């Protein structure tokens, strides 16, 4: 805290931090013939989020003044998400190209250090906004909200996304909680959006009760951690932690106990958001009760944002150099193993529970749990690799290995977005045609709507982890991190073996969907499904399927290289 | 990127392009689609013929093509430029995922070229036989062509990652081809096939990770290049080696993955189900080509990369081979379903392949005992793979022909077919005798070579294996007697028995012709692979000796 | 000294009770950080117990509020006694606002549940299972 500063000076600094030296940022600078320095004002860095906020306001105005005759809520939403996505892409390209030249641009903070602006965050911004765009387009095709409800629905959707955008660039424990709550509260409402349905209200009720409880526990953990460290700012946390813990030999005293308790409580909050065993139970219920589109949104976006935030929190605790966390290194090492084991249990549980499901959304919900397990393995492997100081004294080697683990996670998330959205989209289109979400009703679909079944086959094989689809490449990267981590503790090889076996288990229920679509005959009284490739719905799922294929073939090159660059930002 | 690169790429991806082409044809014009797909498979077959006789140089033992711009002075990390020439600087490649050093690397040698040719032939004949498919022809043709891409890719890939990808790519269409167009129990058969192979693939994936991360140390990036991995396994690269323990673990994982495909007892149980339920052309492909992938994988990957592991496991492999021979033969004897009998005969015949590959005997001092016998075994195994590819595809086709007419396969309800369909009976008996191993036909040479070579390894096993030949003669002659000879046809639908169509006769006669050519002039095949198998045997011996010396080695693996 | 027994609570209960003992000399209570933390912890535990045992949906939500307020007391106490400073108070303000927003949504959802089920007993939410 700067105390020798009068109020006007303080105000001036805050203003400068917010709007920057040149209110038009790089554009203005280039206009004046100066070198662009990357936007240094927070507002400019915050532009994608501001556009999302603007879209929310526009939607509310549309609702307020009954403008939906002129601009439908869908078009406003589509426009807003497109512009926000474009801005985020520009930011990402700029950051990527600036990385080498201006090293101080790698980590910039926004709003006096509450948020961080780096390639990792912007990468996730692109991820979330692209996904938002795809979901908005999907709801437009399936007609989920009718014209009247559209502004409400998209307000919730954009509000939830805004929370996720805060989560991924959090640099402060306050923003962690704020982001998670801003994400959760609209998603509770979205799950209950099908107002008249008993299942929908039940799903929303369960979700809100469990979600609020988990958030409360997490907040309590945050309060303990903040009090113990005396700071909520991420970059200072590892140093403070060293001061608190490092002053005396590591033993089970009150300080360490409080610290562990607070970390566990925070992780419980994450486990809930990621639906990690044993905090997974809300997932299938919420997904089954919610509409398919909302379930698809929640299964990907909230997972992606939560993983980004989990990485940020864990790395803040570990510190930029592992030496800073000093005595905590073995604690983190075993925490990594514990996380991986939990991930293995989660994946196994998700896969086993998915067997007996007949409702496609519920099956996909369990599959989401299983995939959260696979991705969490990468996080566990990263912690193990990062803290294997006993085996690998060279910090640079450890960072390289950890970068690989994060690269695998990022790659997996991208592919997961495409393949999971594809599966949910196909389910939504089939629901619109058949009025059924029961897998056993999908018989004989492939002769009627080959494009839907082709897309479903691509997504299912990708979810199993079969080449040449992207799911395989992602899984391969995660598995290779686990394998590397196994050199430092045998338990990681156990996790790898379980993960491999899980891949084989998961075959049954994914292929079961395909079995009904391709092999089983159509039911006699079933409606005919007509979704040709030339229809918007057909081309939408076809494009997703091609993208899933692309990420496994030519696209793997670009995606893995980008993911590697982005992951390396996290480590010095 | 040169002509060979594009030739190999065309062999692999021409069928994929064909599949895309079929997808564009209107659903109603079935005959156009069939003709187009046939043209594609024929063109691929022609390309593989061109590869074999026009491009392939049988005098060069190593992987071809030698990249001319790379055949240079510099040892590139190898012990000598000579060794580097043999390994690193071969094949054609381009980067695929540079961050992980994954390449799109292709190449061929005397071991893979015959198999590529076999794949081209069987795919083409299978497509001719596919006229019997009436349901959803468009989807069938697309999947069939994709399957051919997967198979060709497996035989031409020289990057382990790429190999794995093609290995799995072949699996996906197969699931649908059995599951949609198969017999009554097709769902069960398809998922069982899928599950077994995927389980093997996961083991292979773990071995892949072991070998990959063991292949880089210090500043060198790890690699998936099979040749480089082999060189490391054989101790040809200083400071980089797989310890015997790593080799044995990797070998066991790889072997199970390949053994499921071969299939070796006790991993064979998917095979009778899949073969019986699959439609005739797919049974031909399964028996003719897919089973060979397992043998090829053992020859190309499991043995060269893990010589020490392979040597340690040889006795087990030989035993499994012999058990497969005897078990398959007895099981075939017990069948009443014609197709199931042929399926079990595949288990038995592929046992010879494993036996021939594994008769690698060492003297007490550790030096190789009779490497020319082992060479004979390898040659026999290779010949058996090709011969079985032709005879088993033929046998399945013959079963399919009669099944299309009378719609049953009960061995006890046939009889006298040679009188009713003389041409069919003649071709069928010829092909079954080829399967039996009658001298002068393609089945003979492989079995004899393998049995002779196994005598050096263990006379007892050789006697047991040879008794397999007698059992084979038993079940095939018995089947021939029950189906083709005898006074009259005893089963249902006697009115449906019509002479062979021209299409069917073409497939049968072509296969029979190949069976006779290979049986009478085995050197057409041996001349193609001789130098490669010779080099295989000598490098394996050297590699085993090298990998036993602990030297500078294990440190590099431990460090990663 | 190295063999001191493991304490399972960050605050020694005995020490806190000692602090609250009537002290005739001082005629007052000495209140320090651990006392506030104790109140926060009691609120937290009460909230968790409430969430776990109440069958009534509103009761569960009240439990959540208790937990949040337990955390809030921690924040404010830390703000006063540690280097956390004003940050703690700011966070607690944010939490109050968020808790209100969350309660509004939660009550709306509870109402929707009531409209569909005519009860807010969480045990009646049993249609989605498996």
- The one-character DSSP state at A4 is S
Per-residue confidence (pLDDT) for residue A24, from 0 to 100? 62
Q: Do B187 and A501 touch (CB under 8 A)?
A: no
Mean pLDDT confidence for B533-556: 70
Say whether B96 and A472 touch across the interface (CB within 8 A). Answer: no
CA dihedral A7, A8, A11, A12 (to 10 degrees): -150
Least confident of A554-563, B311-320, C24-33: C24-33
Residue B169 and residue A484: Cβ atoms within 8 Å?
A: no
Question: What are φ and ψ of residue B73, in 5° steps?
Answer: -80, -25
Residue B156: cis peptide before it, omega within 30 degrees of 0: no
Q: How confident is the model at residue B82 (pLDDT cuts 50, 70, 90)?
A: low
Closest CA to B121 of B472, B478, B394: B394
Whether A507 sits inside 8 A of B180 (CB atoms) is no
Mean pLDDT of B34-47: 94
Q: Pick from A385, A558, A542: which is nearest to A478 by CA?
A: A385
CATH of the domain at C63: 1.10.287.3510
Q: Do C84 and A230 touch (CB under 8 A)?
A: yes
The DSSP H or E segment spanning B207 is helix B186-214
- Joined together, the tokens standing for residue A205 give 């009720």
Which pLDDT score, from 0 to 100, does residue A2 have? 47
DSSP B500-542: PPHHHHHHHHHHHHHHHHHHH-THHHHHHHHHHHHHHHHHHHH
Query: What are the backbone dihedrals phi and psi of residue B359, each rounded to the nearest 5 degrees, phi first?
Result: -80, 65
Interchain proximity A226–C78, CB inside 8 Å: yes
Residue B440's domain spans which residues?
Answer: 3-559
Lowest mean pLDDT among A409-418, B145-154, C19-28, C92-101: C19-28
Sign of CA dihedral A108, A111, A115, A121: negative
Calculate the average pLDDT of chain A. Answer: 87
Which one of A119-123, A219-223, B375-379 scores highest in mean pLDDT?
A219-223
**What pLDDT score was predicted for residue A280?**
87
Is the bond preceding A470 in cis, omega lying within 30 degrees of 0? Answer: no
The pLDDT value recorded for residue C42 is 94
Give CA A55 to chain center in angstroms: 22
* Distance (Å, whole) CA B442 – CA A198: 70
| Helices (H), ranges, C2-56 | 13-20, 33-53
What are the two backbone dihedrals, phi and then psi, of residue A22, each rounded to the nearest 5 degrees?
-120, 115
| pLDDT above 70 coverage of chain A, percent | 91
> What was the pLDDT predicted at B551?
47
Q: C-alpha distances in angstroms, B42 versus B11, B122, B163, B201?
A: 11, 10, 24, 31
**CA end-to-end distance (rounded Å), chain A:** 26
C102 with A195: Cβ contact below 8 A: no
Residue B516 has pLDDT above 80, yes or no: yes
Using pLDDT thresholds of 50, 70 and 90, give the confidence band for residue C128.
confident
CA dihedral B33, B35, B39, B41 (to 10 degrees): 70
B467 has a pLDDT exceeding 50 = yes
Sort A411 into a burial class: Cβ within 10 Å, 0-12 / 13-18 / 19+: buried
Q: Do C and B make contact, counting contact as 3+ CB pairs within 8 angstroms? A: no
**Residue A441 has what DSSP assignment?**
G
User: How many residues are given for chain B?
Assistant: 560
**Structure tokens of A159?**
């509000």
Q: What angle do CA B279, B284, B286 make, to 5 degrees?
A: 90
Of the pLDDT bands very low, low, confident and very high (cuts 50, 70, 90), residue A428 is: very high
Q: What is the mean pLDDT of residues A63-90?
A: 86
Cβ A232–C11 below 8 Å, yes or no? Answer: no
Between CA B560 and CA B78 the distance in angstroms is 20
Determine the pLDDT at residue B44: 95
Asked whether the whole model's pTM tops 0.80, one would answer yes
What is the band of C75 on the pLDDT scale with cuts at 50, 70, 90? Answer: very high
- The Cα–Cα gap between B433 and B441 comes to 7
Asked whether A199 and C128 are in contact (CB, 8 A), the reply is yes
SS3 content of chain C, % helix, strand, coil (to 5): 70, 0, 30
Q: Which residues does A353 contact at the CB level (< 8 Å), separation at least 6? A: A284, A366, A369
Domain that holds residue A480: 320-572
Decide if A201 and C57 are in contact by the 8 Å CB cutoff: no
Query: Is the residue at A558 inside a domain?
Result: yes
Could you tell me the sign of the dihedral formed by the alpha carbons of A16, A22, A23, A25, in that order?
A: negative
The two tokens of residue B332 are 């075939």
Q: How near does any CA of chain A get to the CA of C97, in Å?
A: 10
Is the pLDDT reported for residue A99 higher than 60?
A: no
pLDDT for residue B221:
81
Q: Which residue of B has its CA nearest to A461?
A: B172
On chain A, the residues whose CB falls within 8 A of the CB of B98 are 557, 561
Mark yes or no for CB contact C109/A196 under 8 Å: no
Confidence of residue A41 (pLDDT cuts 50, 70, 90): confident
Cβ(B46)–Cβ(B123) below 8 Å: no
Letter string b/e over residues A430-455, b meaning 16 or more CB atoms within 10 A of that residue's CB = bbbbbebbebebbbbbbbbbbbbbbb
**What is the domain count for chain C?**
1
Q: Which residue has the tokens 């629901």?
A: A431
- Is A187 within 8 Å of chain C by CB? no
CB contact set of B381 (below 8 Å; sequence gap of 6+): B295, B299, B352, B353, B354, B355, B356, B357, B446, B450
At a CB cut-off of 8 Å and minimum separation 6, what does A75 contact? none
DSSP3 helix / strand / coil % (chain B, rounded to 5): 75, 5, 25
Based on the structure, what is the number of domains in chain A?
A: 1
Q: Contacts of residue A215 in chain C, CB cutoff 8 Å?
A: 64, 102
Please report whether residue A262 resides in a domain: no
pLDDT one-digit tens code per residue, A452-497: 999 999 999 999 998 889 999 999 999 999 999 999 999 999 999 9
- The answer to whether residue C28 is domain-embedded is no
Q: Establish if A302 belongs to a structural domain.
A: no
More confident residue, B149 or A111: B149
Q: Has residue C85 been placed in a domain?
A: yes
Highest mean pLDDT among A408-417, B372-381, B463-472: A408-417
Task: Name which residue leads in pLDDT, B248 or A110.
Answer: B248
Given a cut of 60, is residue B24 above it in pLDDT? yes
Instruction: Tell me the residue range of the domain where C55 lies.
Output: 47-119
**Secondary structure (DSSP) of C91-125:** HHHHHHHHHHHHHHHHHHHHHHHHHHHS--BGGG-
Please check whether residue C21 lies inside any domain of the structure: no
Identify from A397, A462, A463, A467 which residue to disrupt to test chain B contact, counting B C-beta atoms within 10 A and taking the largest count: A467
- Write out the E strands in B342-411: none
B206-250 confidence digits (pLDDT tens): 999 999 988 876 667 888 988 888 888 888 777 778 888 888 999
CA distances from A411 to A351, A398, A439, B166 (A): 21, 20, 29, 21
B553: pLDDT strictly greater than 50: no
Distance CA C117, CA A454 (A): 40
Tokens linked to B348: 């038995």
DSSP structure string for A214-276: HHHHHHHHHHHHHHHHT--BHHHHHHHHHHHHTTS---S-HHHHHHHHHHHHHHHHHHHHTT-
Chains sharing 3 or more CB pairs under 8 A with chain A = B, C
How confident is residue A33, by pLDDT bands cut at 50, 70 and 90? low
Q: Is the pLDDT of residue B81 over 80?
A: no
Please indicate whether, in this complex, the C-beta atoms of C116 and A202 are within 8 angstroms of each other. Answer: yes
Task: Quote the ipTM score.
Answer: 0.90
Q: Which residues of A touch C38 (CB under 8 A)?
A: none
Instruction: Confirm if A549 and A469 have CB atoms less than 8 A apart.
Output: yes
Task: Name the neighbours of C, counting chains with at least 3 Cβ pairs within 8 A.
Answer: A
Indicate whether C29 belongs to any domain: no
Q: Range with the lowest mean pLDDT among A513-527, A531-545, B124-138? A: A513-527
Q: How confident is the model at residue B558 (pLDDT cuts 50, 70, 90)?
A: very low
Question: Over 60: is that where the pLDDT of B172 sits?
Answer: yes
Q: Is A174 on the interface with C (CB under 8 A)?
A: yes
Positive or negative, the CA dihedral A555, A560, A565, A570 is positive
What is the C-alpha separation between A213 and C48, in angstroms, rounded?
8
**Interface contact flag, A254 C7, Cβ < 8 Å:** yes
Task: Tell me whether strands A115-117 and A108-110 are parallel, antiparallel or unpaired.
Answer: antiparallel
Residue range B12-18: average pLDDT?
94
Chains A and B touch (3+ CB pairs under 8 A): yes
Helix locations, A319-468, DSSP H: 329-354, 360-386, 395-434, 445-448, 450-464
**At CB < 8 Å, which residues of chain B contact A?**
95-100, 136, 139, 164-165, 168-169, 171-172, 175-176, 179-180, 186-187, 190-191, 194-195, 198-199, 202-203, 205-206, 209-210, 212-213, 560
Q: For residue B218, list chain A residues with Cβ-Cβ distance below 8 A.
A: none
């Amino acid at each position: 805290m700067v105390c020798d500063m009068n109020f006007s000076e303080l105000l001036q600094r805050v203003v400068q931090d917010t709007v920057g030296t040149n209110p038009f940022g790089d554009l203005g600078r280039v206009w004046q013939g100066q070198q662009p320095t990357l936007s240094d004002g927070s507002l400019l860095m915050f532009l994608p989020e501001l556009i999302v906020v603007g879209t929310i306001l526009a939607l509310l105005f549309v609702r307020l003044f009954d403008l939906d005759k002129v601009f439908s809520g869908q078009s406003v939403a589509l426009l807003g998400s497109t512009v926000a996505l474009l801005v985020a892409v520009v930011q990402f390209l700029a950051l990527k190209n600036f990385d080498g030249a201006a090293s101080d641009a790698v980590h910039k903070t926004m709003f006096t250090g509450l948020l961080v602006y780096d390639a990792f965050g912007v990468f996730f911004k692109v991820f979330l906004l692209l996904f938002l765009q795809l979901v908005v387009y999907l709801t437009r095709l399936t007609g989920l909200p009718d014209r009247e409800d559209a502004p409400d629905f998209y307000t919730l959707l954009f509000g939830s996304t805004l929370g996720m955008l805060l989560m991924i660039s959090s640099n402060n424990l306050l923003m962690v909680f704020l982001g998670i709550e801003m994400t959760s509260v609209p998603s509770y409402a979205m799950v209950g959006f099908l107002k008249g349905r008993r299942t929908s209200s039940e799903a929303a009720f369960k979700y809100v009760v469990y979600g609020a409880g988990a958030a409360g526990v997490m907040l309590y953990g945050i309060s303990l951690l903040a009090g113990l460290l005396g700071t909520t700012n991420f970059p200072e946390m590892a140093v403070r932690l060293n001061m608190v813990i490092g002053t005396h030999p590591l033993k089970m005293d009150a300080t360490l106990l409080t610290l562990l308790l607070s970390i566990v409580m925070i992780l419980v909050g994450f486990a809930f958001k990621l639906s990690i065993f044993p905090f997974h139970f809300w997932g299938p219920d919420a997904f089954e009760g919610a509409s398919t589109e909302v379930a698809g949104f929640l299964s990907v976006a909230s997972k992606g944002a939560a993983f980004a935030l989990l990485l940020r929190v864990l790395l803040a605790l570990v510190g930029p150099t592992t030496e800073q966390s000093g005595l905590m290194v073995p604690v983190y090492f075993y925490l990594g193993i514990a996380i991986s084991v939990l991930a293995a249990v989660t994946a196994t549980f998700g896969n086993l529970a998915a067997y007996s499901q007949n409702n496609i959304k519920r099956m996909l919900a369990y599959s989401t749990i299983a995939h959260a397990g696979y991705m969490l393995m990468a996080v566990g492997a990263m912690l193990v690799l990062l803290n294997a100081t006993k085996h690998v004294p060279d910090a640079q080697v450890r960072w390289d290995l950890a970068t690989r683990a994060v690269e695998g996670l990022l790659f997996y998330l991208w592919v997961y977005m495409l393949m999971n959205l594809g599966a949910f989209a196909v389910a939504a289109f089939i629901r619109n045609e058949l009025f059924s979400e029961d897998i056993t009703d999908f018989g004989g679909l492939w002769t009627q709507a080959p494009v839907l079944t082709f897309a479903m086959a691509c997504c299912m094989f990708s979810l199993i982890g079969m080449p040449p689809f992207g799911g395989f490449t992602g899984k391969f990267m995660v598995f290779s991190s686990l394998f590397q981590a196994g050199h430092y503790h045998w338990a990681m090889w156990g996790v790898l073996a379980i993960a491999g076996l899980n891949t084989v288990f998961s075959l049954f229920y994914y292929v079961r969907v395909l079995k009904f679509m391709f092999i089983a005959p159509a039911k006699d009284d079933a409606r005919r499904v007509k979704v040709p490739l030339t229809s918007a719905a057909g081309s939408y799922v076809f494009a997703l399927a091609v993208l899933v294929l692309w990420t496994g073939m030519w696209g793997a090159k670009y995606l893995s290289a980008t993911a590697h660059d982005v992951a390396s930002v996290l480590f010095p | 990127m040169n002509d060979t690169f594009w030739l190999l790429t065309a062999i692999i991806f021409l069928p994929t392009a064909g599949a895309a082409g079929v997808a564009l044809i209107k659903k109603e014009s079935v005959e156009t689609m069939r003709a187009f797909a046939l043209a594609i498979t024929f063109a691929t077959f022609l390309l593989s013929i061109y590869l074999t006789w026009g491009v392939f140089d049988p005098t060069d033992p190593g992987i071809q093509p030698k990249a001319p711009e790379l055949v240079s002075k510099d040892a590139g990390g190898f012990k000598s430029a000579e060794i580097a020439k043999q390994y690193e600087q071969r094949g054609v490649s381009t980067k695929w995922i540079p961050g992980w050093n994954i390449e799109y690397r292709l190449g061929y040698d005397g071991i893979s070229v015959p198999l590529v040719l076999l794949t081209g032939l069987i795919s083409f004949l299978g497509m001719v036989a596919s006229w019997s498919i009436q349901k959803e022809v468009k989807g069938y043709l697309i999947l069939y062509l994709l399957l051919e891409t997967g198979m060709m890719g497996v035989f031409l890939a020289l990057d382990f990652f790429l190999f794995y990808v093609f290995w799995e790519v072949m699996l996906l269409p197969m699931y649908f081809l059995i599951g949609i167009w198969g017999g009554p129990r097709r769902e069960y058969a398809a998922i069982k096939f899928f599950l077994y192979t995927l389980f093997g693939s996961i083991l292979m994936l773990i071995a892949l990770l072991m070998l990959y991360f063991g292949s880089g140390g210090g500043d060198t990036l790890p690699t998936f290049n099979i040749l480089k991995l082999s060189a490391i396994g054989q101790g040809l690269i200083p400071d980089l080696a797989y310890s015997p323990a790593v080799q044995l673990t990797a070998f066991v994982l790889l072997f199970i993955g390949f053994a499921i495909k071969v299939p070796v007892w006790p991993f064979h149980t998917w095979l009778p189900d899949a073969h019986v339920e699959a439609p005739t052309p797919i049974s031909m492909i399964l028996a003719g080509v897919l089973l060979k992938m397992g043998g090829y994988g053992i020859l190309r990957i499991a043995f060269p990369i893990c010589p020490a592991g392979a040597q340690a496991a040889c006795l087990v492999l030989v035993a499994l081979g012999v058990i497969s021979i005897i078990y398959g033969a007895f099981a075939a004897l017990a069948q009443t379903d014609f197709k199931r009998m042929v399926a079990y005969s595949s288990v038995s015949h592929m046992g010879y392949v494993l036996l021939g590959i594994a008769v690698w005997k060492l003297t007490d001092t550790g030096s190789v005992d009779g490497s020319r016998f082992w060479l004979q075994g390898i040659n026999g195994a290779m010949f058996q793979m090709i011969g079985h590819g032709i005879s088993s595809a033929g046998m399945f086709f013959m079963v399919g022909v009669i099944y299309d007419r009378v719609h049953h396969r009960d061995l006890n309800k046939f009889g006298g077919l040679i009188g009713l369909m003389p041409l069919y009976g003649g071709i069928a008996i010829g092909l079954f005798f080829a399967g039996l191993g009658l001298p002068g036909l393609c089945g003979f040479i492989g079995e004899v070579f393998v049995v002779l070579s196994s005598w050096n390894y263990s006379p007892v096993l050789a006697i047991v294996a040879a008794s397999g030949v007698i059992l084979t003669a038993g079940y095939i002659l018995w089947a021939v007697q029950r189906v083709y000879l005898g006074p009259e046809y005893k089963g249902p639908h006697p009115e449906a028995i019509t002479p062979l169509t021209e299409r069917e006769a073409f497939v049968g006669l072509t296969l029979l012709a190949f069976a006779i050519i290979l049986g009478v002039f085995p050197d057409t095949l041996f001349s193609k692979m001789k130098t490669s198998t010779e080099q295989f045997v000598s490098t394996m011996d050297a590699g085993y000796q090298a990998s036993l010396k602990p030297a500078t080695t294990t440190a590099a693996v431990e460090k990663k | 000294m190295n063999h001191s027994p493991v304490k399972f609570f960050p605050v020694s209960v005995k020490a806190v009770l000692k602090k609250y003992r009537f002290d005739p000399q001082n005629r007052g209570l000495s209140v320090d950080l651990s006392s506030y933390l104790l109140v926060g912890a009691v609120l937290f535990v009460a909230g968790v117990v409430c969430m776990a045992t109440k069958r009534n949906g509103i009761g569960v939500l009240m439990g959540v509020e208790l937990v949040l307020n337990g955390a809030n007391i921690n924040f404010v106490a830390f703000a006063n006694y540690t280097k956390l400073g004003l940050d703690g108070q700011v966070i607690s303000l944010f939490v109050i606002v968020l808790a209100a927003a969350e309660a509004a949504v939660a009550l709306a959802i509870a109402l929707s549940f009531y409209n569909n089920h005519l009860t807010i007993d969480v045990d009646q939410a049993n249609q989605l299972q498996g």
